[in-house]
C-alpha cells in the first residue's frame, strides 16, 4: 500500500475504529426504539394481522364436517354424490348432535344458500331414527332437498379454507351457485350506500373545515401575538376537550327543543309545531363533525402561514398587484403544504369516525365504522366486521402513505 494508514491512539486503523463507533451508535439507536417497536408489534400489528386472517378464515365448516368433505373430494358435482358422501354426512351430523354444536354450521350454510337452515334442523331432529346402510335414500326421505344437486354443490363450495366472500358481501356482491360473482338483490345493496355516504361525509367535512379554517388561520398568523394567543384558545380549548363533551353539546344544541331550533322558530323560518329535524340524520353528522375536526385543520394551516413573511405580500403590492392577485399568486401557493396536511388529516380522521355519527347521526347519518361496531357487538358476525375493517384500513393506509410522501409524518404539529 502506497498510502500510509492512519492509526488511532490504540493502534487500530482509524477507518476501522470509526466504523466500529458508527456501528455501536447505530445499535444504540435501534435498541432505544426496540421496546416500543416490539410492544406495538405484539399488541397492535399482530392483532391487526389476526383481524385480516379472521376476515378470510373459512375453515369452520370443513372442521365440523370432516368426513363429509373427505368423501366429497372425489365427487365432481355433476350428479348426486355417492352413498359414501351421505355416510360421511350422517357420521358428522350425529357427532354434532351429540355435542349440540350444529347451530354454528347452520348460519354459515344458510349464508351460502338459503334453505339450509330448515334442512339441517329437520335432518338433525330425525337423525337418531336413521338405520344402518342406504343413507342416501334415508336423507332424501327426511328432506327432499338432500336429493337436489344444488344444495350439495353449495355444501361442497364451502370446502376451501379461505374465502373472500365477506369482502364480496362488503361490496354488495356474492357468489351464485356456479361461483360467479353477482350483485345481491337491489333492495339489499346497503353497503354501497354506506361506503358512498362515508366518503361523501368525509369529503364534505374536509371541505367545510378548509373553508372555515383558512380565514381564521390567516387571521391567527397575521395578528399581533397578544391577540392571536387569546384567539388561539378558541381553537385549542375544543381540541383538548373530551370528544363526548363536544358531542353532547351538539346534542343539546340540535335537539328539537334546543336553542338552534328556538332561533329558527323565532326568526320565522319554521313554525313552532313543525320544527325541523336537525339531529339523528346526516345534517347532525355534518355539523358536529365539522366543529370537532376543525382544530385539526387550523393547526397545520396556522403553522405554515406563520412562516410566510408579510413582506412578500407587501412586495407583491409594491409591484402593482392588487390584493387579490398577490393573494392568488403569492400567498396561496405558499400555503399549499399546510392545506395538504390539514385536508389529509381531517379526511383520515373523518373517514373512520364512530362516536359522533353514532350519537347524532341516527340511521341515515351512520357511517361505515358504525356498521363495523354493529357487526362486532350485535350481529356477532366478527368475520364480516373484520372484512369491513380491513377494507377501511386499506383505504386509510393508502391516504396515510400519500400523507407521508407529501407532508412527512414527522412534520405533524400538535398544539
Partner 1 sequence: MALPNHTPLNYRIWHYTYLTFCGLVFFFLIAPLFVILPLSFNAEQYIHFSSKMLALDPEGFSLRWYEDMIYGTKNPWGLATKNSLIIAFFATIGSTILGTVAALGLSSRHMPYKAAFMALLISPMIVPLIISGTAIFFFMAKVGLAATHTGIILSHIILGTPFVVITVTATLTGFDHSVTRAAASLGSNPVNTFMKITLPLIMPGVISGALFAFVTSFDEVVVVLFLAGLENTTIPIQMWVGLREQLSPTIMAVATCLIIMSTLILVSAELLRRRSERLRGINQ
| Residue with Cβ nearer partner 1 (335 or 386) | 386
Residue 366: partners with Cβ closer than 8 Å, 6 or more residues away: 194, 357, 358
Give, as ranges, the residues between 166 and 225 that touch partner 1 (CB under 8 A): 212-213, 215-216, 219, 223, 225
Query: Are the C-beta atoms of 161 and 58 separated by less than 8 Å?
Result: yes
| Residue with Cβ nearer partner 1 (87 or 169) | 169
Does 235 help bind partner 1 (rule: CB under 8 A)?
yes
Residue from 138, 157, 206, 247 in contact with partner 1 (CB under 8 A): 247
Choices 77-85, 114-122, 310-318, 353-361 (CB under 8 A): range interacting with partner 1: 353-361
Does 328 help bind partner 1 (rule: CB under 8 A)?
no
Minimum distance from CB of 112 to partner 1 (Å)? 24
d(CA 146, CA 122): 11
d(CA 153, CA 160): 13
Does 40 help bind partner 1 (rule: CB under 8 A)?
yes
Minimum distance from CB of 59 to partner 1 (Å)? 16
Please report the sign of the dihedral spanned by the C-alpha atoms of residue 368, residue 110, residue 89, residue 176: negative
| Residue with Cβ nearer partner 1 (333 or 408) | 408
Picking from 383, 346, 9, 330, the residue whose alpha carbon sits closest to that of residue 170 is: 383
Minimum distance from CB of 404 to partner 1 (Å)? 6
- With vertex at residue 349, the alpha carbon angle to CA 347 and CA 350, rounded to the nearest 5 degrees, is 65
Give, as ranges, the residues between 128 and 157 that touch partner 1 (CB under 8 A): none
d(CA 347, CA 207): 9
Query: Are the C-beta atoms of 122 and 143 separated by less than 8 Å?
Result: yes
Choices 31-39, 99-107, 110-118, 182-190 (CB under 8 A): range interacting with partner 1: 31-39
Minimum distance from CB of 93 to partner 1 (Å)? 30
Minimum distance from CB of 226 to partner 1 (Å)? 10
Choices 23-31, 124-132, 158-166, 263-271 (CB under 8 A): range interacting with partner 1: 23-31
| Residue with Cβ nearer partner 1 (125 or 413) | 413
Does 80 help bind partner 1 (rule: CB under 8 A)?
no
Does 369 help bind partner 1 (rule: CB under 8 A)?
yes
d(CA 188, CA 264): 38
Minimum distance from CB of 347 to partner 1 (Å)? 11
Query: Are the C-beta atoms of 109 and 155 separated by less than 8 Å?
Result: yes
Residue from 37, 74, 144, 332 in contact with partner 1 (CB under 8 A): 37
Question: Residue holding cell 338552534?
Answer: 260
Choices 37-45, 142-150, 162-170, 310-318 (CB under 8 A): range interacting with partner 1: 37-45
Minimum distance from CB of 358 to partner 1 (Å)? 8
Residue from 348, 365, 383, 384 in contact with partner 1 (CB under 8 A): 348
Give, as ranges, the residues between 375 and 404 that touch partner 1 (CB under 8 A): 376-377, 382, 385-386, 389, 392-393, 396-397, 400, 404
Choices 28-36, 62-70, 137-145, 170-178 (CB under 8 A): range interacting with partner 1: 28-36
Residue from 107, 181, 196, 237 in contact with partner 1 (CB under 8 A): 237
Minimum distance from CB of 60 to partner 1 (Å)? 16
- Build a one-symbol-per-residue string for 276-305: x at contacts with partner 1 by CB under 8 A, - elsewhere: ---------------x--xx----------
| Residue with Cβ nearer partner 1 (142 or 287) | 287
Amino acid at each position: 500500500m502506497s498510502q500510509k494508514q492512519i492509526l488511532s491512539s490504540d493502534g487500530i486503523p482509524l477507518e476501522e475504529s470509526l466504523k466500529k463507533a458508527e456501528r455501536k451508535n447505530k445499535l444504540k439507536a435501534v435498541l432505544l426504539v426496540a421496546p416500543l417497536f416490539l410492544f406495538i408489534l405484539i399488541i397492535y400489528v399482530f392483532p391487526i394481522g389476526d383481524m385480516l386472517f379472521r376476515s378470510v378464515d373459512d375453515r369452520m365448516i370443513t372442521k365440523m364436517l370432516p368426513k363429509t368433505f373427505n368423501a366429497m373430494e372425489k365427487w365432481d358435482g355433476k350428479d348426486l354424490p355417492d352413498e359414501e358422501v351421505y355416510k360421511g354426512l350422517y357420521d358428522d351430523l350425529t357427532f354434532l348432535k351429540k355435542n349440540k354444536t350444529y347451530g354454528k354450521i347452520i348460519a354459515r350454510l344458510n349464508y351460502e344458500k338459503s334453505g339450509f337452515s330448515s334442512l339441517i334442523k329437520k335432518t338433525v331432529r330425525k337423525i337418531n331414527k336413521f338405520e344402518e346402510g342406504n343413507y342416501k335414500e334415508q336423507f332424501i326421505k327426511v328432506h327432499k332437498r338432500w336429493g337436489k344437486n344444488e344444495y350439495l354443490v353449495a355444501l361442497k363450495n364451502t370446502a376451501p379454507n379461505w374465502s373472500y366472500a365477506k369482502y364480496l358481501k362488503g361490496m354488495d356482491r356474492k357468489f351464485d351457485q356456479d361461483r360467479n360473482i353477482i350483485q345481491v338483490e337491489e333492495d339489499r345493496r346497503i353497503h354501497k350506500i354506506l361506503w358512498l355516504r362515508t366518503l361523501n361525509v368525509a369529503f364534505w367535512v374536509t371541505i367545510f373545515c378548509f373553508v372555515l379554517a383558512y380565514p381564521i388561520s390567516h387571521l391567527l398568523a397575521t395578528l399581533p401575538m397578544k391577540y392571536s394567543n387569546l384567539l388561539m384558545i378558541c381553537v385549542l380549548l375544543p381540541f383538548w376537550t373530551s370528544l363526548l363533551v363536544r358531542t353532547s353539546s351538539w346534542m343539546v344544541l340540535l335537539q328539537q327543543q334546543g336553542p338552534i331550533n328556538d332561533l329558527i322558530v323565532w326568526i320565522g323560518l319554521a313554525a313552532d309545531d313543525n320544527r325541523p329535524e336537525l339531529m339523528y340524520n346526516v345534517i347532525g353528522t355534518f355539523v358536529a363533525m365539522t366543529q370537532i375536526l376543525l382544530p385539526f385543520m387550523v393547526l397545520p394551516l396556522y403553522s405554515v402561514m406563520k412562516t410566510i413573511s408579510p413582506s412578500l405580500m407587501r412586495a407583491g403590492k409594491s409591484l402593482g398587484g392588487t390584493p387579490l392577485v398577490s393573494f392568488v399568486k403569492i400567498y396561496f401557493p405558499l400555503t399549499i403544504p399546510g392545506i395538504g396536511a390539514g385536508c389529509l388529516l381531517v379526511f383520515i380522521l373523518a373517514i373512520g369516525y364512530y362516536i359522533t355519527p353514532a350519537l347524532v347521526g341516527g340511521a341515515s347519518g351512520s357511517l361505515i365504522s358504525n356498521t363495523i361496531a354493529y357487526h362486532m357487538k350485535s350481529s356477532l358476525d366478527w368475520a364480516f366486521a373484520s372484512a369491513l375493517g380491513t377494507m377501511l384500513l386499506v383505504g386509510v393506509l393508502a391516504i396515510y402513505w400519500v400523507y407521508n410522501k407529501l407532508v412527512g409524518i414527522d412534520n405533524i404539529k400538535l398544539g
